[in-house]
Structure 1
Amino acid sequence: MTLQLVPVLVLLGIPRSLGLWTLDKLVVKDGSSVTIPCHYHQMYREHVKYWCRGKLWHTCVRVRDSPGRISITDSPAEQVVTLTLSNLQSRQTGRYWCAIKIGGLMRVDVRTSLELLVTKDALDLWVSNSTVSGTEGGNVSIECFYSDKLKDTEKKWCRSGNMLSCQSEYGTVQSQNAQVHLSDDAHGCFTVTLVRLQREDAGWYSCMAAGIQAPVHLTVPAAHHTPNCTVFPELMTSLPGSAASVNASAPPTPSARTKPLPSDKPQTSAPVASAEPQTKSSVISPEPRTSSPRKAGSPERQTVHPSVASNVTNSLHVWLAVLLTGGILLTAALLVALVWRWRMQHSQTPTIEERTESTEHTMQDDVDLMDYEWTSNSVLELDEEPSTTELL
Structure 2
Amino acid sequence: MSTQEQINPQDSTLDLARRIPKVSLHDHLDGGLRPGTIVEIASANGHTLPTTDPEELRAWFRDAADSGSLVRYLETFDHTVAVMQDAESLARVATEAVLDLAADGVVYGELRYAPEQHLRGGLSLDEVVLAVEDGMRRGEQLAVEAGTPIRVGTLVTAMRHADRSEEIAELALRHREAGVVGFDIAGAELGFPPARHLTAFNRLHAENLPVTIHAGEADGLGSISEAVHECGAQRIGHGVRIADDITLGSGSDAAGMPVAELGPLATWVRDQQLVLELCPSSNVQTGAATSVAEHPITLLKDLGFAVAVNTDNRLMSGTSLSREFALLMDLCDWSVEDVRKATRTALAAAFLHYDERLALSARLD
Q: Same fold (TM over 0.5)?
A: no
Tell which has more relative contact order, 1 or 2 (C-alpha 8 A, sep 6+): 2
- The structure having more radius of gyration, on CA atoms, is 1
TM-score (norm 1): 0.25
- Bigger proportion of residues as strand: 1
TM-score (norm 2): 0.26
- Bigger proportion of residues as helix: 2
